[in-house]
Structure 1
């Protein structure tokens, strides 16, 4: 069985502000990546559950928001696993931008 791709992004916003930014951020982030589309995004307390599609492949995961960090966990289908390092860097970079820029 494949391992999930896990990315942890530190922040100093507190849980509520980080969640507020993330609630508007996934669709905006996806719109900046032409091969990525958001199929599902739903919140359960401080966890966002999502399903995205890239290159015709679906990937599902969740984002847990804590007071001082956000953890993204996503299961990539075998075709997208070839791009795991690129995906990890992109998630890290976009997450930092979203969680550190001035509001």
Structure 2
């Protein structure tokens, strides 16, 4: 198995607000995954860690998101051919993570 891909997303929200946004927005993740047929399951194995499994096109990608005071640390476990395109996947995760987690406009627009 390939080494995990780690993506850090800086923020100035504080740990508790970051966790609140993670919890309130996890349901939107599937709609941001290319391919259109993704499912996302989530759980909280500890107070500051969300575990996710993203399933799309017959592939499951387990990942964790650790909420810290000044960053979110996303760890993806890419297997097989996906590990060969870890760079572009990480770029999409970073972009969508910033958009979903840090952009308050997503909660204030009608």
The aligned counterpart of 1:31 is: 31
4+ residue runs over 3 A deviation = none
Q: What is the CA–CA distance in structure 2 between the aligned matches of 1:11 and 1:72, rounded to whole Å? A: 13
TM-score (norm 1): 0.87
Number of residues paired by the alignment?
Answer: 102
Greater share of strand: 1
What residue ranges of structure 2 are gaps of 5+ in the alignment?
none
Where do 1:10-49 residues align within 5 Å?
Answer: 10-33=10-33, 34-38=36-40, 40-43=41-44, 44-49=46-51
- The two structures have a TM-score, normalised by structure 2, of 0.82
2:102 corresponds in structure 1 to 100
Paired position in structure 2 for 1:83: 85
> Distance between the aligned counterparts of 1:49 and 1:21, measured in 2?
15
- Name which of structure 1's ranges 67-76 and 93-102 shifts more when overlaid on structure 2: 93-102
Contact 1:13 1:99 in 2 (8 A): no
Match of residue 64, structure 1, among 31, 44, 66: 66
* Contact residue 57 and residue 80 of structure 1 kept, 8 A: no
More helix by share: 2
- Write the distance in 2 (CA, Å) between the matches of 1:53 and 1:24: 20
